[in-house]
Each structure stands twice: as C-alpha cells, then as structure tokens.
Structure 1
Amino acid sequence: MSTNDYYQTNDQGHLMIGGVDALKLAENFGTPLVVYDVAQIRKQFNALKQAFVAGQVDYAISYASKAFTSIAIYQVINELGGHIDVVSGGELYTALKAGFPTEKISFHGNNKTKDELLMAVENNVGVIILDNFHEIELLKQVLHETNKKVQVMLRITPGVSAHTHEYDQTGQEDSKFGFDVRSGQAEKAFLQVKAEEQMELIGLHAHIGSQILETEGFNLEVEKLMQLVQEWKQKYDYQPQVLNLGGGFGIRYTAKDRVIGLGTFVEQIIASVRTLAEQYQLNVPAIWVEPGRSIVGEAGYSLYTVGSRKDVPGLTPYVTVDGGMGDNIRPALYQAEYEALVAKRPAAEPVEKVHLAGRYCESGDILIDQACLPKTKPGDVIAVLATGAYGYSMASNYNRVPRPAVVFAENGQAQEVVTRETYDDLIKNDRFYQEK
C-alpha cells in the first residue's frame, strides 16, 4: 500500500478508504455512496484533544452535528470523550437514540420551538444556548411548567466577520444569530437571564463563520468576548465558567487551500484567552470549541459511477455521474470546490478538463466545474474527496431520487451505518387524494 498526502492506494493502485478498496465498496454497497474513513475522524478529534491537554486548560470539544448527523457518528464521538451540539429536535432525537450522554449535549438554533425546548429540558440536556429574546421567554415558560432548572449560555454576535463565503459568516452584527453587543442586546439578555432562578448562566458563546483558514478571526473573537466579560465583571460581578468559541476551522478541499493544523488554532485561542484574562484580571474560563467540518470533512468520500458523456467541439466536455446536487448541494449553493479521482487509478495523470455533472434536472447541477481527470468511460468509479461535511446532512430527494447509503470504513472493514433509501421510502408519507 502507498500513501500520498491526501489518499492511499493498494498494491493494485486502487484508492483505499479506511483500508478498504474503493472499487469493492462501490461493488458491495452501490453508488452513489458516502464513505467515511473512521480513523481520520479519530485523528482529527485527537489532534484537538492533545492541543487542549498540552495547553493545560479546562475544555470541551463539542462536535457540530449539522456537519453530519447519524447514530453511528454520535457513537464514535462518545467513544472519543467528546460533547455534541444539536440544532433541532431531530438531531436531539438521534442523539438520544444513540445513547449519547445528555449532560454532554448543547442545544443550539435561532428558532427553537417550545416543544423542542421541552424535549431538551425533559431529557436533561447539558446546556441550552439562548439565541434571542423570544427563546428566553419560551424557555422560561417550559421551566415554570416542568419545575426544572437548566444551564444556559448566551450566543453573542461580537461584530467579527470571518474571511469566508457570505452565507458562512455568522459573527458579524448583521446576522440572524445571537445577541448583538454594540446595540446593547447582549447586556439586556444577560440581565433577563440572570433574573431567572431556573436558568444558570454558565457562559458565553460566539461563532464567527465556517471554513476559516487563519487564526486572526479567533483572536478578534476572544478579544471582543473578554472585553465584554471585563465589563460585566465590573458592573455585575459576573465571570463565565465557559467561553464557547464555536468552530469553523477550515479543511483542504483543493490544492489552493492552505490549511492550518487544528492544534495551531487551539494554541492561539488558549494564548489569547490567557493573555486577556491576565490583562483584565479575570479567571481563565473553560474553553469550548465546536468543530464539525474539521472532524468529518476530509474523512468523507463520495463514490459515483460514470454514465453519459457529452462532447461539443470547442467546449468543455460533460461527464455525468449517478449522483449530484441531491447528495451534495454545496457546489450549487455556494460554489464550493472539490477535487476528484478515478478510483481504479487515482495516481493517473489528468489528460482533460471536464464538467463533472450530476444526474439532476438542473443546469447548475455541476459537482466540479473544471475537473482535471484522466480519460473516463461509462462504469468508471469516481471519488470526490473531502465530502464528509454538509453533503449527506443537506441531501434531498429532488427529482424523487433516493438518498445514498453511508458506510464507515476502518481497519480494512466496512459497515453500512445509513441504509440506502428505496423507492418505497420515497412514497411512504404520500397519501392518495380522495375526491369529494
């Protein structure tokens, strides 16, 4: 077996995922197929853990479920000693079914319903991150009705904008998320929550964006939050137990992405918190982060089978596969870029640029606009790299196409963890119209 920086091959030169031949995976489970190299997930999580341990601070690594949600991924995160954050009743329900420790669950979301909050409170979720004033009132109602107490954090919009796609920016003032600092919303929310005996305000939360490839944004985030903590200490004698700095650590999608090691992000964050705590004479809080993409993104592969090809003289050819925007909406949604390989010969030199197109009835269903590939033929298995985050979790049944199976591969063994949908699955909620 040989290895380069981004993939492994076996003695036959085939792409290997988790020690399993990608061609065998396609043969045994069909395509389209989402495959996770579980060892890579463990490696990324442990890189964060090691950096926190070396930094000698209290911490929690809370996996951001929205990147990829399933019972199996929750099992792996639990084995690794992690926390998780959920953003809906559905994600919470999945975590409960997985047996995930509820005290290690954080509940996010900018429009939680009363029923979802009730579900969280009744199942003793560890912390609810409050996002707006309406939610404070809803949670207050739930707590009064259940006569329970709950730990909460306030989501703060600190006025920091990460260098990323505009849809991925969440820390700037003009955002649907959180309580704005400059307008006084954050302080108003703080006073409301502190007045509630059934809510224990354990910390502050902020998230500045996704696919961040530099540390400066996190330094600014820490600075803004610690300034706020200093102000609230002086005015209200309050210091948070936890500073939750969100996630957004970037990964390598293509060769042009210059990726920073996860440990570097953590080291910078710890240093910034420590420096400002000393400067402002504050306690060093526990530091929480919420990685999602950086845990599962590069561990994921999407396997497709080549079908039709369209050649027009003078134009870039179209090579179509049996998946597309139904299992990976990111290229159509915000022009996300990927790289692809032919699974049978991933080391083969590319000889042409093609539009790697999907099967869906949309002109915008292009997985990779200018894919550099060797010559392909119908039946070839194509592997698109680094599709582990926001691919399956955003998948749809557009054109009534069933969603793919998901397989975990590790130590040469492969296991289906999400079954491929069937045509019967597509119509199971349909009902015949009865004309009256």
Structure 2
Amino acid sequence: MSRFAHSAGDGHAEALPEVRPPHAPTDLNALDPAIWTRTSGRIDGAITIGGVDVRDLAAQHGTPLYVVDEEDFRSRCRDYRAAFSGGQVHYAGKAFLCREIARWIQQEDLGLDVCSAGELAVALSVGFPPERITMHGNNKSLAELERAVDVGVGHIVVDSFEEIARLGFLAEKYGTRPKVMIRVTVGVEAHTHEFIATAHDDQKFGLSLNSGAAAEAVRRILALPQLELVGLHSHIGSQITDTAGFEVAARRLAALLVQVKEEHGVVLPELDLGGGYGIPYVQGDDVLDVKELADSLRDIIIKACEAAGLPVPRLTVEPGRSIAGLAGVTLYEVGTVKDVEGLRTYVSVDGGMSDNIRTALYGADYTATLASRESEAEPMLSRLVGKHCESGDMVVRDLWFPADLAPGDLIAVAGTGAYCRSLANNYNYLPKPAVVAVAHGQSRVIVRRETEDDLLRGQL
C-alpha cells in the first residue's frame, strides 16, 4: 500500500516522518511493467506510450500533459468484463470522465457510475444509454434527481431519507418507477487512508446498518409504490488490495437481505459491492489480479447467501481507479534543479498540485522517471515538486533521479490516470493541462488545454 499522511485537526496533512528510500534502484532507466502502462517502453532512450515518443508529445501538445494509453484502458475494461461475466461492471466516472472516455466505456459494453448532474451530462452528450447509468452521491439536489428520473437512469443509489421523499415525489410527477438501491454503511474499517475509507459509521456516506437506518430506508421505499427497490449497495473505501473487507461487507449485507425477506416478504435481486480496488503506485505495492478478485467476490456472495438461505443476487462492481489509473501518465518539463546540500535535490516541474493534488491531499506516492533520455549518471536523492506557492506542493516526496538531470528534461509520472485530472484545479491561476489519447503510434487531444481566456471567462 502507498504511504499516507495523517490528517491534522485543521484539515492539513501532518508532516510525514523523514523516511528516505532505503537505497537507489540498480537501474534508473527501467520501467516496472506492473506500474507503467501496458504499451510503455523505451526506444533510443526515450519513453514511448502507445507507440508515441514522449518528446513528440511534449513538442506537439506542451507540458504538463496527461497521456492516456487507449489500449491499456480498453484492455482493463475487457479484463473486468470477462472476469465478472454474469454480473455487471460499471466504470466509476469520478476516477476520470470526459466525452471520449464515456465513448470507450460504452463501446466496451460497461455501465457507468455518475455522481453529479455534470457527470451525467457528459455521458448523455455522447448518447450513453441512460439505462446503463447509476446515479450516486450523498447529497443529490432535487434538480439532479429530477434529471436522473427524467432521462431514465438505470439505478439511483439512495443515500438519505430526504432522497427517498424527493424520489417519491419526482416519480409520481413523471409517472415513472425508478429502480433504486440503498447505500448501506456496513461498519467495515477498510485498511486505507481516513479520507478514502467510506464504510465506517462515523462518516457522511450511506445509511447505517448498525443504527437501523438502512432497515428503516427499506421500509420507507417499500411504502412508496412509485419506487422499485432492487437491491443494496456498499462501498468500503478506495485503494484496497485484499478482499477481507468485502467478505465482511457481503455477510452483513446478506443479513440485511434476510431481514428484508422476513419482514416484508421481498427478495432483492441485486447486490452492488462498489469498487475501490487498488493499483500499484510504487515498486513493492500489491498488484490486484482481476480474475482472482472476481472469483473471490463471487465465492463470498454465494457462501453468504447460501448460509442465509437466499438466492444469489446479481453482483455489480464499480472499478474506476483500477481501469483508468495505470492507463495514465503525466509528462512534465524540468524547470529548475536545486541542490540542498546534505539533504536532497529539489527538481521543480511546470505543474504540481494543480494537476495532481493527491500527494498534498493525503500523501499519495508515485513512481517517476527521466523520460526524454536514458542516463547512466549516479543516482541522487530527489524531491519532485511543483511551481505553486505551497511548501506541500510535491508530486513525489522522495525518489532517485540521475545526477545529470537538467532543465529541459522531461519527467514522466506513472499511474496518474485516476483522480488527477478529476481533482485538477486552477491554483495560482494555472490552466489545466490537456489530455491526449495515444494508440498505434498516433496521438489526439480528447480534452484541450485550458487558456487564459478560460480562466477569465465568467469573471465580471
């Protein structure tokens, strides 16, 4: 697992202890296939992705630059679809969504999870079938729910009693019967960072199983004939690489399914265990096998339902990071190289926490390398930092770069396909980078770079 900072009371990350990498890698030019995209390699010293030289990408599209390996992304969609045959796979759009990604998801026959009217609008703008869309969110507005009901999204995951009442009103208004699921807070402590653990009781998501709120939600929905309760939903957190937490969640959800059957005579046909599956960011991180994950989750559900005397519901999963994360690489240009004698060398690039806030937000770690050439120089302990006016503006806290690294070199950071562009911001009025897709030796812009006009638009 990646190393994380602890949250301080003022909302900032506490200083991490000085834990330096134990030793430099034997080959600073090597690309770990578990971390880099499936088509990444080096030709004449420079990294290529999808058959495109990163130097050409930087020259044509500028830096910072998000690069998405289309074949990598699509192949991971296929891996999930094959592994969960008989169930449903919904891509979690919050990881990274744009119109082209929505097209890929549709073409690869996956469903799509959205969390806002904006994400829903992206999907609908390319003709994504609304019946394959699930609407999430802990505080959906009446307008967002109305749009979801109006266009006929496949599922709405209810997160509060207020939403039940709103949906009942809207369903009656539109004369429809939307399918709903209840997001159940199952009380599982996922082994991940506090900010991305989502199934313990003391947090904003879902309806608590322990308090009886989830069971009360079942009663309220079943009392409204204009709503169709089809199942239960649980999401225990993010960046999880073992199935122990899912096993506990499945057992507790099965117990609620039994309660629903005994109290109401209703057998719910669907169970959604969410996503949160982790990816390796640095060497040594666990690598998730999708087929093993699918087999394990199916076995968990079957055993839990058999023990409870229930038919096995249709299983849905919601991978996001584990499809998009490793398909993405960010390119930067080195601006300054500053040696702080006795400590480390600070390598500053032309982006930072505006295009990747995860390191500052919760101490996420990454793998980065010199991308525009190879080097046999001695390794130097480095910190890859951005250009923003914050001391916490770090892309990679501690890593090794070759000692001959110089301004103008290109740096590639692996594993940035998820939650980097989605969390991008305009701190210090930096425009958000472009996103390019690469495949078969060609690149094309799928999200254009912001301009100064974009930054000023809307200001009076």
The alignment's TM-score, normalised by the length of structure 2, stands at 0.90
Q: Matched residue of 1:383: which SS? A: strand
Counterpart of 2:128 in structure 1 is: 100
Q: CA deviation at 1:11?
A: 3.2
Taking a change above 3 Å as real, the CA distance of residues 50 and 426 of structure 1, as seen in their structure-2 partners, is same
Counterpart of 2:14 in structure 1 is: none
Q: Distance in 2 between matches of 1:206 and 1:52?
A: 17
Q: Which amino acid aligns with 2:445?
A: E
In the alignment, does 2:64 pair up with 1:32?
Answer: yes
390, 412, 419: which one pairs with 2:448? 419
What are the Cα deviations for residues 254-286 of structure 1, in whole angstroms up to 9, with x where unaligned? Answer: 013112212211111000111122222211111
Contact 1:327/1:394 (8 A) holds in 2: yes
Q: Matched residue of 1:211: which SS? A: coil
Contact 2:215/2:256 (8 A) holds in 1: no
Which segment drifts farther, 14-23 or 417-426? 14-23
Q: Distance in 2 between matches of 1:11 and 1:362?
A: 36
Q: CA deviation at 1:373?
A: 1.1
What are the Cα deviations for residues 210-249 of structure 1, in whole angstroms up to 9, with x where unaligned? Answer: 0001111111111111111122212222222110000011
In the alignment, does 2:406 pair up with 1:377?
Answer: yes
Q: Matched residue of 1:145: which SS? A: helix
Q: Distance in 2 between matches of 1:31 and 1:346?
A: 20
Contact 2:32/2:283 (8 A) holds in 1: no
Contact 1:249/1:262 (8 A) holds in 2: no
In the alignment, does 2:265 pair up with 1:250?
Answer: no
Q: Distance in 2 between matches of 1:349 and 1:268?
A: 46
Counterpart of 2:80 in structure 1 is: 48
Q: CA deviation at 1:141?
A: 2.0
Q: Distance in 2 between matches of 1:83 and 1:11?
A: 37
Q: Which amino acid aligns with 1:409?
A: V
Q: Distance in 2 between matches of 1:415 and 1:234?
A: 56
Taking a change above 3 Å as real, the CA distance of residues 338 and 350 of structure 1, as seen in their structure-2 partners, is farther
In the alignment, does 2:87 pair up with 1:87?
Answer: no
Q: Distance in 2 between matches of 1:321 and 1:419?
A: 20
Q: CA deviation at 1:16?
A: 1.3
Q: CA deviation at 1:344?
A: 2.0
Counterpart of 1:434 in structure 2 is: none
Q: Distance in 1 between matches of 2:100 and 2:119?
A: 13
18, 30, 46: which one pairs with 1:14? 46
Counterpart of 2:21 in structure 1 is: none
Which segment drifts farther, 5-14 or 260-269? 5-14
Q: Which amino acid aligns with 2:441?
A: G
Contact 1:350/1:372 (8 A) holds in 2: no
In the alignment, does 2:433 pair up with 1:396?
Answer: no
Q: Distance in 2 between matches of 1:349 and 1:223?
A: 54
Contact 2:281/2:366 (8 A) holds in 1: yes
Q: CA deviation at 1:3?
A: 7.5
Cα RMSD over matched residues? 1.4
Taking a change above 3 Å as real, the CA distance of residues 230 and 332 of structure 1, as seen in their structure-2 partners, is same
Q: Which amino acid aligns with 2:336?
A: S
55, 65, 76: which one pairs with 1:23? 55
Taking a change above 3 Å as real, the CA distance of residues 346 and 337 of structure 1, as seen in their structure-2 partners, is farther
In the alignment, does 2:105 pair up with 1:73?
Answer: no
Q: Which residues of structure 2 form unaligned runs of 5+?
A: 1-29
What are the Cα deviations for residues 342-389 of structure 1, in whole angstroms up to 9, with x where unaligned? Answer: 112368576111111101111110111112111311110100000011
Q: Matched residue of 2:84: which SS? A: helix
Contact 2:232/2:271 (8 A) holds in 1: yes
Matches within 5 A, 1:243-322: 243-322=271-350
Matches within 5 A, 1:103-114: 103-114=131-142
Taking a change above 3 Å as real, the CA distance of residues 346 and 216 of structure 1, as seen in their structure-2 partners, is farther
Taking a change above 3 Å as real, the CA distance of residues 350 and 236 of structure 1, as seen in their structure-2 partners, is farther
Q: Percent identity?
A: 43
Q: Matched residue of 1:239: which SS? A: coil
Q: Matched residue of 1:25: which SS? A: helix
Q: CA deviation at 1:397?
A: 0.7
Which segment drifts farther, 416-425 or 310-319? 310-319
Q: Matched residue of 1:323: which SS? A: coil
The alignment's TM-score, normalised by the length of structure 1, stands at 0.95
Q: Matched residue of 2:231: which SS? A: strand
Q: Which amino acid aligns with 2:430?
A: V
Contact 2:345/2:382 (8 A) holds in 1: yes
Q: Matched residue of 1:391: which SS? A: coil
Counterpart of 2:163 in structure 1 is: 135
What are the Cα deviations for residues 131-188 of structure 1, in whole angstroms up to 9, with x where unaligned? Answer: 0011111212222222222111000001112100010100111121011011110111
In the alignment, does 2:367 pair up with 1:339?
Answer: yes
Matches within 5 A, 1:210-229: 210-229=238-257
Q: Matched residue of 2:366: which SS? A: coil
Taking a change above 3 Å as real, the CA distance of residues 347 and 258 of structure 1, as seen in their structure-2 partners, is farther
